[in-house]
Amino acid sequence: MYRSALIENIAPLRRFPVKIFMLLLSVWASLAFSATRTPVYSSKGLVASISPLASEVGAEVLRKGGTAADAAVAVAFALSVTWPSAGNIGGGGFALVHPITGPDSFIDYRETAPAAAGPDFYLDEKGELKGDESKIGYRAAGIPGTVAGLVLLHKKWGKLPWASLVEPARKLAAEGFIVDAGLSESLTRSAAHLSAYPETAKIFLNKGKAWQRGDRLVQKDLATTLTAIQKRGADGFYKGQVANLLVQDMKKKQGVLSHEDLLNFKAVEREPLHKKWKEFEIVTAPPPSSGGTILLEILGMMQGDKLEAMGSGSAEYLHLLIECTKKAFADRSVWFGDPAFVQNPIAKLLDPAYLAKRRAEIGDKAAHDISPGELLGEKPDTTHFTVRDSRGMVISNTYTLNGSYGSGVVVKGTGFILNNEMDDFTSKLGESNMFGLQQGKRNQIAPGKRPLSSMSPTFVYQGKDIVLALGAPGGPTIINSVTQTIINRLIFRMDIQGAADAPRFHHQWAPDKIVWEPFGITHDTRKILEAKGHIFADEPRNFGDIEALAYDAENQRWTGASDSRNGGAVVPE
């Protein structure tokens, strides 16, 4: 939020001579990213999310003696009300769990493809893509997994009654809440998308225009759906009236999702990835997310580099970071898919010898012809929240509708938005998805298959103790947001709020352009990188929303950060 104000305030300076203007711009850039908010400290639990209302809901659950799992369930349902662009019961995601006892676990509640979908689902008789079917409308939706995932999370690690955890969200939907600036801006940006379907427009637009700051947004149909889930758990969503309404609407609008698809969906518990990096251990997302592996690949290529000596924001560091990122994303385009359908060569991609070889290929100039590595034998809107309770349980959860407000479809009578997660599959070989990502055969559509993801909920250990838990939204930018925040915190020793707020850079191999943020790079540094052959996107843009908790050894307390790019909040127990 504060950066948009900076842009407005700096406009009059453009009357100055160019050299003076650039000097002032560099100074302002430094100020913009050094004067961040103070981290929130707590000797008990903490909840960090993009919605202050949802964070307060989670913190209240902790105050009542609930576990981090209880709080995570309550926050997820609350976000489905207060942050409808990505908070959801019509989408899916991943939860990384550090229980009080036992090993870390990974709950995969990623959406799956309907039984009627296949590799040619979006192709016409000539083999060409049929418009935007994978992005907009009823055929864009995968089978929602959020409710099943939250039920599994509560079953394994919850303590408080299920109904009590759904109640705050039900109440927010039934009685309404006051729209804040962040939600109003989000609705305004997506007004055209939301107006495409009458049921959606009826809820999220006020007489055809976005709800404004200070308005009360009431969602009666969503409250009814949440009541069904509150009373019957997963059966309240995958069976009964909610399921009937969903399937009936699908049949009327040429969708294919069926009762059998809903009944067959299962959330899956997986083992997370573990990898040593410098003096730390990273625990992160396994496939069907590519995020964890690519994050570890980027960090692994920099294993032997003295990053602290290079300095945060230096041309030397940014050149190395961007080149490692390009190589890792090139590998992403080929080697990943749902582990139930393909074998992901994770061990080979993270083999020290392979990473050293890829690192040795990086020279002083930007490479423009990077190819995926040869292995022997072988959206954008999401949201993230992080929770820690006073007993030490930690949950890092990322879930999504894929694009902002997903498919744009609200099923009549249910109040929730359906995802457009099918666009995360390879709809046609050689074609990019809505995030500009090119993906391979391993990620082609198949019945029951989970699409490839970039979501990267992550823990970092130092010795036996967690010292950092984080994640972010943003499609493929998630990986770079999380990677760079890890480096900012652990190597450049920023406090957690500064690490979350620091300027970020994104490169995903194709297209060959650096995505950069307003005021995120000095004029001189950019010139050095351009001289090395790097290509910058024409215009800057903000991306990501880090929600992180970190242990502050000096103060012997946990601290939390909610990205200053947005209007989120960290709330202590």
Cα dihedral value 559, 2, 204, 248, nearest 10: -50
**Structural contact between residues 165 and 68, judged by C-beta atoms closer than 8 angstroms:** no
pLDDT at 510: 85
**Structural contact between residues 259 and 243, judged by C-beta atoms closer than 8 angstroms:** yes
Asked if residue 5 has pLDDT above 90, the reply is: no
3: confidence class by pLDDT, cuts 50, 70, 90: very low
Asked if residue 19 has pLDDT above 90, the reply is: no
Beta-bridge partner residues of 453: 289
Domain parsing of the chain, residue ranges:
2-34, 36-176+218-573
> What is the DSSP track for 252-310?
HTT----HHHHHH---EEEPPEEEEETTEEEEEPPTTBSHHHHHHHHHHHTTTS-HHHH
pLDDT at 432: 58
Asked if residue 218 has pLDDT above 60, the reply is: yes
Q: Residue 421 gets which letter from DSSP? A: G
pLDDT (mean) for 478-490: 97
Share of residues in the chain with pLDDT > 90 (%): 82
367: confidence class by pLDDT, cuts 50, 70, 90: confident
pLDDT (mean) for 368-387: 67
Mean pLDDT lowest among 10-14, 136-140, 500-504: 10-14
Q: Residue 7 gets which letter from DSSP? A: H
- Could you say which architecture CATH assigns to the domain 36-176+218-573? 4-Layer Sandwich (3.60)
| Digit-coded pLDDT (tens) for 309-325 | 999 999 999 999 999 99
Give the span between the Cα atoms of 548 and 500, in whole angstroms. 8
E strand or H helix that includes residue 515: strand 515-516
- Of the ranges 20-24, 55-59, 325-329, which is most confident? 55-59
Of 21 and 164, which is predicted with more confidence?
Answer: 164
Cα–Cα distances (Å) from 447 to 116, 125, 139, 180, 261, in that order, read 7, 21, 14, 40, 9
Look up tokens 């935007």; give the residue.
132
Name the catalytic one among 67, 382, 383, 426.
Answer: 382
Which two three-digit tokens encode residue 92? Answer: 């899916």
Mean confidence (pLDDT) of the chain: 90
| Digit-coded pLDDT (tens) for 501-550 | 999 999 998 889 999 999 999 999 999 999 999 999 999 999 999 999 99
Residue 382: active-site member: yes
Q: Three-class SS of residue 136?
A: coil
pLDDT (mean) for 273-299: 97
| Digit-coded pLDDT (tens) for 153-164 | 999 999 999 999
**Structural contact between residues 85 and 186, judged by C-beta atoms closer than 8 angstroms:** yes
- Assign residue 463 a region: left if phi > 0, alpha if psi is -120 to 50, beta otherwise? left
E strand or H helix that includes residue 51: none
pLDDT at 39: 95
- Assign residue 396 a region: left if phi > 0, alpha if psi is -120 to 50, beta otherwise? beta
Which two three-digit tokens encode residue 57? Answer: 């809901």
127: confidence class by pLDDT, cuts 50, 70, 90: confident
Q: Which amino acid is at 488?
A: N
